[in-house]
Amino acid sequence: MVAVAELAGVSVRRGTALLLHDVNFKVEEGDRWVIIGPNGAGKTTLLALLSTQMHPTTGVVEVLGEYLGAVDVFELRPRIGVASSSIAHRIPNREKVADVIVSASYGVMGRWRETYEEMDHARALELMRLMHVEDLAGRTYGTLSEGERKRVEIARALMTDPELLLLDEPGAGLDLRGREILVKTLSELCEDPDAPTMVLVTHHVEEIPEGISHAMLMAHGSVVAAGPIDEVLTDEKLTAAFGMPLHITKIDGRWTARAA
Ligand SMILES: Nc1ncnc2c1ncn2[C@@H]1O[C@H](COP(=O)(O)OP(=O)(O)OP(=O)(O)O)[C@@H](O)[C@H]1O
């Protein structure tokens, strides 16, 4: 198996704060990872390394065969799709949904004077169908519900045909209906053999789509457990990560957790 990303002995320090401590993590081609942990566990920091937005203080980060620190990250970034609230905040509200997606092929936020190929428009349409937002193509981004926005943001992240897809809390702020539509759409993506290798971050096991193959539990900047999802999402390991007695169950491929 080819490693799409690998962290070896990675720590990240900011002043006296240790954001990540001796993290080892390997993502192989075709893997669908979920990273779970309480607030402040270091999940966003880990995604910042994988998306080449941050360098480690110590240790080695390899992404798509290149080592951070020895590669021009601007060449690497188009090969990585990212959907996160910080990117979403930069999308202009007046932008049409179809343009939000197609403009990713130029790496721009909001259309300006670029001209797009027919191929780009066809790809954007294909992705809108994949994310079930094709009916919203003509709407402006600012008029969408939170759930619709999330699916548009993921379609945008897929526009450059990335080899690695990073999703930072896609279910945050969604109501039950919005969450269920998103989880179903993400399940379809996870089960699509042509979809890129994926790493999804969430706080809630209820947001884990079917088709996720691996899980990592984090706490206090360290890895509590990592591996095939059924081996990692156990009462004992979840309890250790969240620091309270928890009971987790899996029914029809979906997970729920509550205090034990
Ligand atoms: N520049 C910084 N200086 C000091 N501490 C920082 C800095 N950036 C982040 N931190 C701290 O590092 C820890 C890890 O942050 P991170 O955002 O990676 O956690 P997270 O698991 O994504 O949390 P959340 O679930 O709340 O989004 C937090 O305690 C945060 O306050």
136-165 residue pLDDT tens: 999 999 999 988 999 999 999 999 899 999
pLDDT of residue 95: 92
pLDDT exceeds cutoff 90 at 60: yes
Give helix then strand counts, H and E, for the chain. Answer: 9, 12
The stretch 1-6 carries a mean pLDDT of: 86
For ligand 1, atom 11, which residue shows the shortest CA distance?
19
Residue 138 to residue 233: CA distance in whole angstroms: 41
DSSP summary character for residue 140: B
pLDDT exceeds cutoff 60 at 109: no
Å from CA of 20 to ligand 1 middle: 9
pLDDT exceeds cutoff 80 at 107: no
Residue 236 to residue 44: CA distance in whole angstroms: 24
pLDDT exceeds cutoff 90 at 114: no
To test ligand 1's pocket by mutation, which of 18, 19, 167 has the most ligand atoms within 8 angstroms of CB? 19
The mean predicted confidence, pLDDT, of the chain is 92
pLDDT exceeds cutoff 60 at 112: no
pLDDT of residue 121: 87
Domain layout of the chain by residue ranges = 3-259
Nearest to 178 by CA among 188, 168, 186, 167: 186
Span of 56-65, 104-113, 129-138 with lowest mean pLDDT = 104-113
Å from CA of 238 to ligand 1 middle: 20
Residue 72's Cβ-count burial label (10 Å; 0-12, 13-18, 19+) is exposed
The stretch 4-18 carries a mean pLDDT of: 96
Residue 195 to residue 71: CA distance in whole angstroms: 25
Nearest to 80 by CA among 194, 163, 186: 163
3-259 is classed CATH 3.30.70.1150: no
For ligand 1, atom 27, which residue shows the shortest CA distance?
39
Ligand 1 atom showing the smallest separation from residue 47 Cα: 18
Instruction: Tell me the three state secondary structure of residue 221.
Output: coil
